[in-house]
Amino acid sequence: MSKVLSRTFCCCIPVRAGVILLGLLGLIGGVAVTAIGIINLKRQDGSKTSMILQVVIYLLLSIVSIFGLVGAISRRLAFIRMYFGMLVTHLLFSMVTGIYAIHRNFKDAPKYISDCTSGSADPSVLQVCQNGASLLKGAMVGIFILAWLLETWACVIVLNYSKQLSEEYYEINRVKDTEAW
């Protein structure tokens, strides 16, 4: 009987362990970001649409991660395929809502600067507020791009595990030439 080779990522980590780890990280991270988002939502003034969207997206990530965790632990191909599909869908929705949040941040920057200066005409105060707004813009864009790259990598890991499980199921159910006699 031929054996299916275990696929790996990061040179040596089996993809099954990666999917379990991704499921745990998605569950914990999704719940943490959702909780922080809800706390910030209660404190925030003005437009809350982008924040609400991000809270919903990360709540969905934690729910989706349960499928990956259960599927990887129980080696269920259907769960892993559903996890992959939901993870790709989550990535796309995350990109759309993230782009909207970045747009809102850039659009609302003058309001943040005026709130920061509090009517002060001092050029040093104005410069500090402008630098802070620029830093916030750069950090926000960088964090979103990093999150999207990591989630894309997670999709690749889950896809590789799905292919491995599919090959394992094929090997188990394949009729050998000698068995057909």
pLDDT band at 179 (very low <50, low <70, confident <90, very high): low
Mean pLDDT of 104-132: 84
Helix or strand or coil: residue 2? coil
Taking only the tens place, the pLDDT of each residue in 24-64 is 999 999 999 899 989 988 887 766 787 888 888 889 889 98
* pLDDT score at 1: 45
If you count them, how many residues does the chain have?
181
Complete DSSP assignment for 85-122: HHHHHHHHHHHHHHHHHHHHHHHTHHHHHHHHHTT---
Helix (H, G, I), strand (E, B) or coil at 7: coil
Query: Could you report the per-residue pLDDT of 60-70, keeping only the tens digit for each?
Result: 889 989 989 99
Between residues 162 and 108, the one the model is more confident about: 162
* Average of per-residue pLDDT across 158-173: 88
What is the CB neighbour count within 10 angstroms for residue 16?
A: 21
User: Above 50 in pLDDT, residue 12?
Assistant: yes
Task: Give 135-144 pLDDT, tens digit per residue.
Answer: 989 999 999 9
The per-residue pLDDT for 132 is: 87
Confidence of residue 177 (pLDDT cuts 50, 70, 90): low
Whole-number pLDDT of residue 51: 81
Average pLDDT of every residue of the chain = 86
